[in-house]
Amino acid sequence: MVGACYLDTILTVDHYPDEDEKLRASSVRRRRGGNCPNSVEVFQQLLDSSPEHNEISLNLAAVLPARSSVGSQQIKASFGPRVNLQHCIYREAFNEPASSYIIKSQSTGSRTIVNYNELPEMTVAEFVQIADQLVRTTDDWFHFEASSLLVLFIPHSTAVYLLTDPLQGRIPDVTLQCMQYLRQRHPAVRISVEVEKPGRAGLQELAAGADVVFYAKGWAQANGYRSPEEFLRAQAQLTPKARYLCCTWGEEGAAIMDLADRNTPTYESTPAYTVAHGQVVEYVEPISSLKDCVLTLKYSTIGAGDTFIAGMLYSLLCHPDDWDLSRKLRFANELAGRKVFQEGFTGLGDAMRHHFES
C-alpha cells in the first residue's frame, strides 16, 4: 500500500471544545496510524486467523524519517513478524514522522483530526522503481487510496507487498500517473482505488481507471445521491474498467455492485453491523434505535473504513470463488462493525474465525 504512515495521538473528551476553551481529556492514546497501516494490521490478522492462507506474506514500503529516529523505530516495532519492512524509504534529513492529533467527542462520537507531515512525498520515479521490483506474476493487485497515495500490492499466492508514502492527495495527477504506468507496463495487474473525501478534484478520473472502487457515503452525498443503490448505478456508467463497486453508508450499512454483466449488474446491500447488550447483532431497526445504542456503548469509528477495505480485499483475494457476493459484503461489513465498537484493531481477526471454520 502506498499512503501515509502516521503516529496518532487520540484525546477523548466529553464534548468538542469551543475556540479558546480549556478542556480536560478523559484519556489519551498513542498508536501507529494512517489508512494504509490500519488496513495492513487488519489484513495481517485475517491471514493469521485463516491458516489456509499462510503462504501469503506482507511487505510494507513506507516513507519514514531518519532510520535512527524514535518515530521510525516506533512504527517498525508496531508491526508483527508477518510484515516485511525491507522496502522502507528513509528520509535521513528528517526526524519527525507524519503525525495526527485526533479529538474524539464522547457526546457525539465525532472525531476531529489535525495532521502534520513534513516528509517529502514519494515521487512517481520512486513508485515506478518499487513497482518494477515487486511485480513478478500476472495475478498481482495494487490498491490506491486517493486521499493520500495508498497501494496494496499482492502477488499471486506468495506475498503481499504494501508500499506507503505520504502523497497527501495534493496532486491527484501523481496517483493517476502511477495507475497509468501500471496499465502500460504491467497491464495484467488489478487496480483498486478508494474515493473518500468530498471536493477533492480528480477522484472520478481515478475511479474510471480502476477494477475495484471503494466509495464513502460523504463523497456520494456531496455529489447529490441519497442512497447507495442510486449512487452505485450511476457510477457504473462512469467506471468502464470496474468489476466491483463498493460503498459504505455509515449507520445504514454497506453495498456492492458486481459489473461482470454490465447489462444486468448484481447489487447487494447489508444493514449496519452493531453491538447490543454485549452481543454482536445485525442491525435492522430504525436508525434512531442505533443512535440510542451508540450512546451507551464504547464507540470508535476511527479506522472503520480502513477495516472494511481490508475485509473486502481479503474476501476478493482469498475467497474469490467459494464466497458469493453477499457473503463477501457481509464479511467486510461485520468486520468494520466490530471495529466501530472497540478501540483499536486488536482481536478483530480472532473475532472473525467463525467465518473461516464454517
CB 257 within 8 A of CB 269: no
Query: How far apart, in whole angstroms, are the C-alpha atoms of residue 286 and residue 353?
Result: 29
- Give the global pTM: 0.86
In eight-state DSSP terms, residue 15 is S
Sign of the C-alpha dihedral computed for residues 121, 84, 133 and 73 taken in this order:
positive
Give the helix, strand, coil percentages of the chain, each rounded to 5.
35, 25, 40
Q: What confidence score (pLDDT) does residue 251 get?
A: 84
C-alpha atoms less than 13 angstroms from C-alpha of 139 in its C-beta half-sphere: 8
Which three cell numbers mark 264? 444486468
Q: What is the domain partition of the chain in residue ranges?
A: 34-96+118-357
DSSP for 241-271, written as a single string: T-SEEEEE-GGG-EEEEE-SSTTS-EEEEEP
Q: What is the pLDDT along the chain (358 residues), one digit of tens a residue?
A: 666 789 999 999 999 999 999 999 999 999 998 887 888 899 999 999 987 877 776 777 778 999 999 999 999 999 888 887 877 889 999 999 999 999 999 998 888 999 999 998 888 898 888 888 888 766 688 888 765 554 555 555 444 555 554 344 445 788 889 899 999 999 998 898 988 878 778 889 999 999 999 999 999 999 999 999 999 999 999 999 999 999 999 888 999 999 999 999 999 999 999 765 444 444 333 333 444 444 344 567 788 999 999 999 999 989 999 999 999 999 999 999 999 888 889 999 999 999 987 6
Domain 34-96+118-357 sits in CATH at 3.40.1190.20
What letter represents residue 238's amino acid?
Answer: L
Query: How far apart, in whole angstroms, are the C-alpha atoms of residue 257 and residue 244?
Result: 6
Element (H, E) at 174: helix 172-185
